[in-house]
Structure 1
Amino acid sequence: MFVGVVVIVAYGNLGQRLAYTVRSDEVVATAGFVLVGFVAGVAGQVLGTRIQAAVGEGAAVVDLPLVLFLAASGAFVAALLRSVLFERDDPLVMLTVGLLLWLFFELDPSVTARRVVIALAVTVLLGYLSYALDTASLPGMLTGVLLSFLTIVLGGFGWFAMLITFFGLGGLSTKYRYDEKLDRGIAEENEGARGSGNVLANSIVALFAVVAAAASPSHIAVDPLLFFYAFAGAVAAAMTDTFSSEFGGLYDNPRLITTLRPVEPGTDGGVTWQGVAAGAAGAGIIAGIAALTQDISTVGSGVILLCGLVGMTVDSLLGATVEGSVVGNQGVNMLATLAAALTGAGVVLTAGLL
């Protein structure tokens, strides 16, 4: 693991510099870092395993699917950290990546080489499309790629279908009538391209649910289905919040959710009936995808729909009360998805749906 992390960062830097010589573009340079770092990470882990076996400190068998998974995860995380946090602090990047990969190694997930390769192809393609269409900045694209990759490998394609629907439709809703939103003062910054903070705020709870599902029941004595509902609920909440704000903000006469008094468009905690309807439709889309891709009942789909509505309501309540004074917008988004995830887990536990 140590050798793998060191060579990911070291040779990733080399790949980034070589890419710059070909084309002076940030995306191309990052692609060079990820590609060369991934290949070096695979080679480093295989070589390290062989050396350990040669000196009698380990088995000579190489778990190739796990090696591919760890190398890809490490390359994505290192590229993300360098782009937003520690661009010139490689030791800190190596420490952070090493701890994360250690966690993944200890989880010993049941991964296959085929799923890892498909996950790489799908997420890299979709990540590039999101950047090319200006629905995400480079850090936002890297964050989305990492989350999507982990969701496919650790959760499955059904889980990924919900997540990518949120990323795709959420990004497009941000672009919808963007100039009008700009005039009304409610448009997202950077021409609607969402950054890593925004993507993480809406997805970090879902990511924890994916990792927890991979750790259960071997490391956590809980039915993995519990974490599925937490994941789906968090994604549904993110979708409802995005739809309600992006579509509802285009209409006049919003009312503060706590007092129902009319407020200016864009006021934190202000809601319109059109926004509520759009949010409910977003939650319905996620619930429908869950029903199509997972073996859940109609009641289970209703639970996911409920989670989305709870998340939207909590987001508006926090916006009207503590946003700006206690927490920022991204903190409110995270708390809303957390409330939705807890709602999903709590309902399935009390209703006996496990």
Structure 2
Amino acid sequence: MELTQDQIIAIALVVGLMLIAGLRGMLNLSGLLAAAIVGLSVSLLGHWTWLAILMVFLMTGSIATNWRYEEKKALRVAEDNEGTRGWRNVMANGAVASLVSVLNFALGGPEWAYLAASASIAVASSDTLASEIGSLDPRTRSILNLEAVPAGTNGGMSVTGTFAAFFGGLLIAVMATTLYSIHGGTIPLISLMMFITVIGWLGCQVDSILGALLENEGYIGKHTVNFLATLSGALMAYLAYWRFL
């Protein structure tokens, strides 16, 4: 069977993702295997542009993780293993995009799928930048009652983290909007950018609320919180599409 141009680009991007992530130490072996699964499903059942958006998140997240890493390590708010991530982290942030890609393939490519996949990635980006950059801001307060809490506390929010969360969502929104013309969709570009940015930021707040209510109490772990937050982003995008677009 002859591969289409889009499929060739998709496979090339997956190979490139594996090489970059492996050589730069972004992912360990289990993380690379999970990234291959997510990358292939997202790019072949969705579109290669979806994977390009995911790759922007991965690279930005890696830069944010390594930013002032030793300071975060001293405060015990840094990622373990020198920032190298495993399969749980990959699936926590990319599984929803994979699920949307499966629905996209099964339903014949509905227009909301691109918005939902992009929004879920925007949530992951927003939360990662808020955590990695905001964890060094001592002006941290609980999202539940606004009481002062130590920097890096689950459910904590800070001025720096809030702005970082907005930038994380905006970054993905710009990338998704730039690539949208390839799909030839009908969603107005300004609406696409606005919804992805706002949903990314809102999903980050969902993550903080779940962290404060459930993770701090030991009911669920960090990766489950991340998955649920990205899922909320995809659901918000689906509802926004049918309600406003």
Please tell me the TM-score bracket, short chain as reference.
over 0.9
Q: Does the alignment pair 1:272 with 2:158? A: yes
Contact 1:244–1:278 (Cα < 8 Å) also in 2 = yes
Q: What letter matches 2:208 in structure 1? A: S
Secondary structure, aligned partner of 1:136: coil
The residue aligned with 1:183 is: 74
The residue aligned with 2:24 is: 133
Q: Does the alignment pair 1:226 with 2:90? A: no
Shift of residue 236, structure 1, vs aligned partner: 0.4
Q: Does the alignment pair 1:215 with 2:101? A: no
Runs of 4+ deviating beyond 6 Å: none
Contact 1:135–1:175 (Cα < 8 Å) also in 2 = no
Q: What letter matches 1:299 in structure 2? A: S
Q: What letter matches 1:176 in structure 2? A: W
CA distance in 2, matches of 1:185, 1:202: 22
Shift of residue 184, structure 1, vs aligned partner: 0.9
Aligned residue among 233, 237, 240 for 2:123 = 237
Secondary structure, aligned partner of 1:322: helix
CA distance in 2, matches of 1:185, 1:244: 16
User: Computing the radius of gyration over CA atoms, which structure comes out larger, 1 or 2?
Assistant: 1
Contact 2:100–2:116 (Cα < 8 Å) also in 1 = yes
Shift of residue 139, structure 1, vs aligned partner: 1.0
The residue aligned with 1:206 is: 97
The residue aligned with 2:221 is: 328
Q: What letter matches 1:322 in structure 2? A: L
Aligned residue among 251, 257, 263 for 2:143 = 257
Q: What letter matches 1:234 in structure 2? A: S
Q: What letter matches 1:148 in structure 2? A: G
Structure with greater contact order relative to length (CA < 8 Å, sep ≥ 6): 2
Q: What letter matches 1:263 in structure 2? A: V
Q: Does the alignment pair 1:170 with 2:96? A: no
Secondary structure, aligned partner of 1:224: coil
Q: What letter matches 2:13 in structure 1? A: V
Aligned residue among 169, 178, 185 for 1:283 = 169
Contact 1:175–1:192 (Cα < 8 Å) also in 2 = yes
The residue aligned with 2:204 is: 312
Shift of residue 125, structure 1, vs aligned partner: 2.5
CA distance in 2, matches of 1:121, 1:305: 28
The residue aligned with 2:184 is: none
What number of residue pairs does the alignment pair up? 238
Instruction: Provide the TM-score with structure 1 as the length reference.
Output: 0.65
CA distance in 1, matches of 2:137, 2:209: 19
Unaligned runs of 5+ in 1: 1-63, 66-111, 218-222
Shift of residue 255, structure 1, vs aligned partner: 0.5
CA distance in 1, matches of 2:36, 2:215: 29
Q: What letter matches 2:141 in structure 1? A: R
Contact 2:7–2:48 (Cα < 8 Å) also in 1 = no
Q: Does the alignment pair 1:159 with 2:45? A: no
Q: What letter matches 1:306 in structure 2? A: V
Shift of residue 291, structure 1, vs aligned partner: 1.2
Secondary structure, aligned partner of 1:258: coil
CA distance in 1, matches of 2:10, 2:214: 39
Residue-by-residue CA offset, 1:99-131 (whole Å, 9 max, x unaligned):
xxxxxxxxxxxxx34433333332222212212
Unaligned runs of 5+ in 2: 182-186
Matched-pair identity in %: 34
Secondary structure, aligned partner of 2:148: coil
Secondary structure, aligned partner of 2:73: helix
Equivalence map 1:74-89=2 (5 Å): none
The residue aligned with 2:41 is: 150
CA distance in 2, matches of 1:275, 1:181: 14
Contact 1:136–1:171 (Cα < 8 Å) also in 2 = no
Q: What letter matches 2:242 in structure 1? A: L
Secondary structure, aligned partner of 1:255: strand
The residue aligned with 2:6 is: 115
Contact 1:135–1:172 (Cα < 8 Å) also in 2 = no
Shift of residue 225, structure 1, vs aligned partner: 1.2
Instruction: Provide the TM-score with structure 2 as the length reference.
Output: 0.92
